[in-house]
Amino acid sequence: MNRKPFQRRVYWNEPELGWWESFYLFEIIRGLSITGGVFLRNMGRWVTGRKGALTTYYPEQTRADYAEHNRGKHILTQRPDGSPQCIACNMCATVCPAKCIEIEAGFDPQDPAHPKYASRFEIDYSRCVFCGFCVEACPEDAIRMVKVVPDLPGGDRDDMWFKRDDLLSWMPQADVAKPYPPKAGGRDGGTP
């Protein structure tokens, strides 16, 4: 068999070592002085009490550069009386691509306008992909996402389930989209 001997391809930007570089020593000293300089600079900052690193301690500190429209933690909006707006229609749980929302409906005979409510509403943050489909799907504007990220680190994966009361801890009394009872002649059609 007649094979051509292997020829390494020569590139147009083939690096060439001059005699200075091919002596290694001075270039190595240059490299070491760069890294050593960074080390001494950062150590100097530490010793004088300034911060010598770009690191943010994750659970303890929050990064300052979250986007204004970051969509992190889910919240359940509330009616003025503090009950959740959620009517347990299960649309968010259906649309959820990660299947991480679990809802159990309850029956409330005291409230004829919304007899069905969510007695259990849990989100498994170990699966949530933060796609926001649940917010889009909700017909009642009961679930929203806020800028802060959920406080996830924990020693147990059960800690990553956020229960209904965790999601209701936000108190958006002034920010309720649908006033209740609905105003007469409002956009929602008013009282029948």
Report the chain's C-alpha Rg in angstroms: 29
With tokens 């990553």, the residue in question is 160
Q: Please identify, using beta-carbon distances, which residue of 43 and 171 lies nearer to other proteins.
A: 43
The residue ranges of DSSP E strands in 80-125, in sequence order, are 101-107, 116-124
Q: Name the minimum Å distance from CB 15 to other proteins.
A: 14
Q: Rule CB under 8 A: is residue 43 a binding residue for other proteins? A: yes
Helix (H, G, I), strand (E, B) or coil at 45: helix
Stretch that binds other proteins, among 53-61, 73-81, 88-96, 144-152 (CB under 8 A): 53-61
Residues 86-115 that bind other proteins (CB under 8 A): none
Cis peptide before 181 (omega within 30 of 0): yes
Q: Please identify, using beta-carbon distances, which residue of 22 and 110 lies nearer to other proteins.
A: 22
Q: Please identify, using beta-carbon distances, which residue of 28 and 177 lies nearer to other proteins.
A: 28
Exposure string of 49-64, with b = 16+ CB inside 10 Å and e = fewer, is: eeebeeeeeeeeeeee
Binding residues for other proteins, rule: CB under 8 A, are: 24-25, 28, 31-32, 34-36, 38-39, 42-43, 46, 52-55
